[in-house]
Amino acid sequence: MLLVCVIMCVILTISLILLLVSKLNFCEKSSFLLINGLFISICGIGVKKNVHLFNNSDLHKVFFVMERKKIEIEFIFRASPAILYSFLTDPATLVRWFCDEVDIQDDVYTFSWDGSEEIATMVDDIEEERVRFKWHDADDPDEYLDFKMYKSNITNETVMELTDFCDDDEVEEQKDLWETQMKKLRVECGG
């Protein structure tokens, strides 16, 4: 039993050091938690979930659930709501700005990026006004991807309001991603 505790202690120490000095991916963090859990159950000691000894955001992410944030961004287009609507729903135009491939069966959209697939159901479809998708693998069933479109009475431009969700430490990256995607969309739909 003592030998098992010593071996587990060495493994736990190495895992903890790697966790503190590097940015580990999810699998490595999960492995650390599994090793730590086994160590606690076998030896009765280990790194407890209430860690306050370390000032490391990656360690905090391992032990605590990330908060999801709703992001809302507004984009201006010269293209009409009808044109934008087609670019959000038609496979021939979706592949020009959003994904590499898309397969649509009824209201189920299978999007593909670099060989990786994501499946979403269109849960709201108001022609030329709104399109809302729910991702099948979403962490929270209340999350969605929403596109609202309307014509501005003042400028006569089309306003697209986008709503999406992401981890609280990924808000800026998600906004940057959507800025890039909307630039592609503007080029493809004529402004």
User: Mean per-residue pLDDT for 179-191?
Assistant: 94
CATH number, position 90: 3.30.530.20
**Last residue of one domain, picked from the residues 63, 90, 114:** 63
Kindly indicate the confidence band of residue 49, based on its pLDDT and cuts at 50, 70 and 90: very low
- Verify that 75 and 51 share a domain, yes or no: no
- Verify that 183 and 104 share a domain, yes or no: yes
The boundaries of the domain holding residue 55 are 2-63
User: Mean per-residue pLDDT for 113-119?
Assistant: 94
**Amino acid 190: pLDDT:** 86
Kindly indicate the confidence band of residue 66, based on its pLDDT and cuts at 50, 70 and 90: confident
- Verify that 57 and 115 share a domain, yes or no: no
Q: Which comes out higher in pLDDT, residue 46 or 11?
A: 11
Q: What is the pLDDT of residues 118-139, one digit of tens each?
A: 999 999 999 999 999 999 998 8
Please tell me whether the overall predicted TM-score, pTM, comes out greater than 0.75 for this model. Answer: no
Domain count, the chain: 2
pLDDT at 112 exceeding the cut of 70:
yes
Annotate 66-81 with DSSP letters as a single string.
PPEEEEEEEEEESS-H
Q: Which helix (H) or strand (E) holds 35?
A: helix 26-43
